[in-house]
Amino acid sequence: MLLAYLLARCGVPVTLFEAHRDFDRDFRGDSLHPYTLELLDALGLADTLLELPHFPARYFRFHTPTTTITTTDYGKLRTRFNYVALMPQAQFLDFLAEEASLLPAFTLRLGAKVTGLLHDDNGRIAGVRYRDEHGEHDRPATLVVGADGRFSKVRRLAGLSAHSLGASSDLLWFRLPRRPDDPPEADVDLYFGREHYVGLLGGPSGWQVGYSLPKGGYAAARQAGVDPIRTFVARHVPWLADRIHLLESFSQITLLPVDIARVTTWHRPGLLLLGDAAHVISPVGGNGILMAIQDAVAAANRLVPLLRRGTVTDTDLASVQADREPAIKQVQAQQVAIERRAARALRTGLPMSPPPLLKLLTALPGVRARNARANAYGPQPPQLNTALLDAPGS
């Protein structure tokens, strides 16, 4: 959605296909980092966006039965947006779609499901075949961008595959209401216990709660029912004990299989993969949206001048991957290390917990600020070439 907006803002005709009739779905990635808010501010969109309901999260904290560690304080960042805005992703997508619809070069096709790829006489991908309520249609294009998530249909149609780097856990997600007397600093928190942890994401009216499971443990958890989950949450997040009874059945729970995976080559002649279609980011750190948005910025910087000329080579597409892959590898390596530490804890029967030195390190001056900057912007964050917005044809 962001790449489509940027292309259209620069005068490049773009059609965005969405298989569903709207964006009203229960996404689990709801975090807009300072990088994203600064980008939207440069585009003149941030103030309008932040008029919508959101929750400004300042801290990232770990809790064990004996201690609380604040690892990250976004309030120490020297930016107008010194927080992570927790906003339903469907709301964010609706906002971007509405802003993009004001641009003459932008077309949104809802209820349009891509069913195939078109090829020219040289075998280059030259558009898509899609199905809507009126039947099947062909849409020729200079470039096809697959940004359709971890189970990407476009990736599969192109004969590309993502290789798993290793994940040892899955997450069960459910929602609980917010109360006025909830801890004011409970923004993005992890609560560790033996064999499980609970992750919290704050929102304007409630909490998203993630309960960890061993990889492949969903069937056993479902058979056990919600009682073990309610007991764990009441014990380790005691201020939620007064409402955990509202979790009554597994019908209120969504399974999020955790994965960390990457496609070796993100492109084919005429096609580029971005976001989770190219590299699956685990929920650890909450930076999947950040990585996808930065993909869009890097792609726009490279592609706008080329698409204005009407030619994009495979070398050009490889340059987008080259721009982004080092950062993606760094983020995924950190996530794999965390997964391995969690797996060791399960094997040894030790409580799942942060590294012992973490509390000492985060007490040092500047460490929380450095952690905040690293998570707010990610490694090697691309800067949008705003000159493209002012160029002829934009």
User: So what's the pLDDT on residue 345?
Assistant: 63
pLDDT of residue 124: 97
Give every residue of the chain whose pLDDT is below 70, as ranges.
27-29, 186, 284-285, 342-363, 365, 391-394
Please provide the DSSP assignment of 68-108 as one string.
EEEEEEGGGSSSS--SEEE--HHHHHHHHHHHHTTSTTEEE
Give the tens place of pLDDT for each residue, 309-339: 999 999 999 999 999 999 999 999 988 887 7
Is residue 93 within 8 A of residue 112, CB to CB? The reply is no
- The vertex-311 CA angle with 305 and 313, nearest 5°, equals 100
- The reported pLDDT for the residue numbered 257 is 86
**What global pTM score does this model have?**
0.92
Evaluate whether 314 touches 18 at the Cβ level (below 8 Å): no
Q: What is the pLDDT of residue 194?
A: 80
Q: Pairing mode, if any, of strands 135-140 and 188-192?
A: unpaired
Q: For the purposes of burial, counting CB atoms within 10 Å of the CB of 221, is it exposed (0-12), middle (13-18) or buried (19 or more)?
A: buried
pLDDT of residue 337: 83
> Residue 318: in which H helix or E strand, if any?
helix 314-348
**Which domains are assigned to the chain?**
2-55+83-164+260-344+378-390 (3.50.50.60), 169-214+216-257 (3.30.9.10)
Q: Is 379 exposed, middle or buried (0-12, 13-18, 19+ CB in 10 A)?
A: middle
What Å distances lie between residue 147 and 25, 109, 123, 310, CA to CA?
Answer: 17, 15, 22, 21
Backbone dihedral angles phi then psi of residue 83, each to the nearest 5 degrees: -165, 170
- For residue 280, what are its two tokens? 């699956």
> Which pLDDT belongs to residue 93?
96
Cα 261 from Cα 380, distance rounded (Å)? 20
Contacting residues for 102 by C-beta, under 8 A, at least 6 apart:
none
Phi and psi dihedrals of 382, rounded to 5? -75, 145
The confidence score (pLDDT) of residue 238 equals: 95
CA distance 251 to 237: 22
369's enclosing H/E stretch is: helix 367-377
- Looking at residue 61, its pLDDT comes to 86
- The per-residue pLDDT for range 37-62, each reduced to its tens digit, is 999 999 999 999 999 999 899 988 88
**CB-based contact 147:277 (threshold 8 Å):** yes
